[in-house]
Chains A and B, each alone.
Chain A
C-alpha cells in the first residue's frame, strides 16, 4: 500500500490515445518515492513523454484516451483529480524553454502560477524573488526572455514551478538545448533542489552520461511503450540493456569495454570520478592505447573558403564577430563550437551572405564574396537550418527538392530528373511521393539536406544537425553526413554535442565572444582545461579515465579512442 513517501505509483497501467489504434503505454509498473531521482531513458517514440504526461495530468485531461490500471500520486488516483489540482503536486519543466517562458519578463513568468491563484502582489513579488534566488536568476528579474540564454530561460522555468513547493519534479529533456557546461550546472541545480526539498525527481533524458553527472537512484529504460529495465546506475551500466534499447552509454564505459576491462557494479562504474580500477584493469587500458594504429594522415587540400580579419556588428551596435580569420579546406568535416551567443550562428550567416560582414574579406572558391549575392553564394555554400520543419514548404518530398531548381530557372523535367537522382543518393527515393508530414525527424533532415545538395555546393553549413535527437536519429543523420562528406562535400557543423565533435570531426573551431580562441583536433580541445572553461564545454570523461590510468598524453588517449571507435563502428 502507498505511504506518505510514495510519490508516484503506476500499477499495470496502459494508455491508448483516442487517435491511435495501438496503445502508447503498455502494462507500466513503476514506483517513485520522495527524495528519489530517476532517469527515464528510451528512444524517441518509446512513450516516455506520454508517461510524464500521465503524471502531470496532461493525459487524460488535455490528451484524451483510454486507460486501464492506475496511476496514483501520494495515494490518490490521478483520474479523480484535475490538472490544476495535480499541478500542486507535480511541477513540470518542459524541454522547450522558449515556449514555457510565457511572461514578458522573468518576474512575471516565475509568478505565472501565483497570478492564477490570485496571490496578492506583495506576497507574489517576494516569493518570485526568492525562487529566482534559488535558481540564480535574481539579478535578471526584469529581463525579457529575448535577453536571456537558453540555460537562464530553463532556470526561470524551474523557478516557476518551485514557487508551488511541489514534492514531485518532472524534467523533460533538460539537457537538449544547452551547451555542455550549462547542462552540467543544470544537473547540479536539480540535485540541489532534490536534496533541499526532498522532492521526487524524474528526468527524461537520453544523454545518460551527462544526466548521471550528479548521480541518480535508478535508471528506467523504456522501449515500445514498455519499461524494459529498472536498475540502479551501477548495475545498468554493467548490463547490456543500454545497447539493446539504443541508449548511448558513457564514453569511458565504451573505452573500458574496448580495452577489455570487465565491468562489475561494485566498481562504482556510474561515475568516472569514483570508478575503482585495479592495477590489471589500468594496464589493460594502457596496452589498448598502444595497440591501436594511428590513422593515415589526409593529404593537405585546397582552401575553399577563406576569411581574413572578418568583423561584424549588428545594427543594434552589438559586436558579434571580431577579427575572425579562418581557412576551410576542401573535403573537411569540421565543427564550430562555443557557448550560446559566442557568434557561431552569426559566423555562418556572414559566410552565407545572410548578413554582410562589416570589416575584413571573405573568399569563396577564390572569389571575393562581397561581389556575390545570397543566391550566388548558395551555389557554393548551402545552409541547413536547425529545425528541418523551418525549411520544408512543399507537401511532397520530390517537389521540395526540385522547388529551388525550378525557382532558379531550370525546366520542370530537368529539375525533377536532377532531384530524383539526389533522392536516390540520399536514400529517400522510395519516399518521393510521400507527404513531408509522414517522415521522421531524421528523414526530414535528410530532405532538407537533399534540397541543398541539388545545387551541388562545395560546402554545406549545418546548424545543430542533431540537437535533441536520440541515438538512432543521431546516428542516421551523422552517418548520412559522413557519406556526403566522403563524396567530397565540405561540412561545417555548429554544435554543442561533444560526442559529435569526437566521433565525426577532424577539426574544431572554438569561438568566444566573437573571436576564435582555438582551432585544433577535437581530442586536443576537449582535454584542454583552459579552453573548456572559457568556451563552456565540458571535458570528456575519457580525459579523467586517462588520468586515472596514469596516462599523461590525454589528448593522445582520446585520439586512440576515436580511431578505434571509428574503426569498430565502421565494421558494424
Chain B
C-alpha cells in the first residue's frame, strides 16, 4: 500500500469505523456470563502495527467515543482515553515489525505480544482507573478490579486475534519467486 499523509487520515477514519462495527455488532460470548469479548482490541493491535502510534491512538479514541455516543447514555471518557493510550502504545511495535514485507515470524510475534501486553497494562491498570478516580471519584479498589479484568481479557484476545490477523496479513503478501505449481 502507498504511504501518504492522506492515507493515514483515511486509515484513522476507516479504522475507527471498523473499531466501532466490531465493538457494536460482533458478539463473541466470553467465559463470564452475559459479557462479550472485545475483539476490537485484536483488530486495533493489527492496525497499530501497520499505521503507527498516532494513527492507532486516534482510531481507537474516535471509534470508542462514537460507540459510546451511539449507545446514547453518555461517553465514559476515562475508558475512551484509555483505548487511545492502548492504541498509541501498541503502535510502537510498528517500528520493529514490518508486516508490509510479509515478515511475521517468531521474533516479530514475541515483539508484537510484549508490546501489546505493555499497552494493555498501561491502559487498563494505570490510565483507566486513575482517570476514573480523578474524573468520577470512583472508589479505588472497584476501578482497579474492573481495569484488571478488562486488561487480562484484552491481553488474551489481542494475543490470539491480533497475532492471527498479523500472521494472515503477512502471509497474504507473497514473497516474489517463491511459488511453484505442484503436481
Contacts and interface: CB of A to CB of B under 8 A. Distances in A.
A433 interface: yes
Nearest to B167: A395
A435 B176 CA distance: 12
A393 B161 CA distance: 13
Interface string A411-455: 000000000000000000111111111100000000000000000
B179 interface: yes
Contacts of A430: 181-183
Contacts of B167: 395
B2 A63 contact: yes
Interface in B152-183: 167-168, 171-174, 176, 179, 181-183
B172 A437 contact: yes
Contacts of A434: 174, 179
Contacts of A21: 176
Contacts of A63: 2
B172 A395 contact: yes
Given A395-B168, A395-B171, A395-B172, A438 B2 contact: no
A433 B182 CA distance: 8
Given A63-B2, A395-B168, A437 B174 contact: yes
A452 B172 CA distance: 22
Interface in A315-330: none
* Max count, chain B CB within 10 A of own CB: residue among A393, A435, A436: A435
A62 B2 contact: yes
A103 to B, nearest CB: 13
Contacts of B171: 395, 435, 437
B35 interface: no
Contacts of B183: 429-430
Query: What bracket does the count of chain B residues touching chain A fall in?
Result: 10 to 19
A95 to B, nearest CB: 18
Contact of B182 (A394, A395, A432, A436): A432
A425 B181 CA distance: 16
A101 B172 CA distance: 28
Interface in B1-52: 2, 4
B173 A62 contact: no
Contacts of A433: 182
A435 B182 CA distance: 13
Contacts of A394: 168
Contacts of B172: 395, 435-437
Contacts of B168: 393-395
A436 B171 CA distance: 9
B50 to A, nearest CB: 15
B181 A435 contact: no
B181 A62 contact: no
Interface string A37-76: 0000000000000000000000000110000000000000
A431 B183 CA distance: 9
Interface of B: 2, 4, 167-168, 171-174, 176, 179, 181-183
Given A431-B181, A435-B172, A436-B172, 15 more contacts: A62-B2, A62-B4, A394-B168, A395-B168, A395-B171, A429-B183, A430-B181, A432-B182, A434-B174, A434-B179, A435-B174, A437-B171, A437-B172, A437-B174, A438-B174
18 contacts: A63-B2, A393-B168, A395-B168, A395-B171, A429-B183, A430-B181, A430-B182, A430-B183, A431-B181, A433-B182, A434-B174, A434-B179, A435-B171, A435-B172, A435-B174, A436-B172, A437-B171, A438-B174
Interface of A: 21, 62-63, 393-395, 429-438
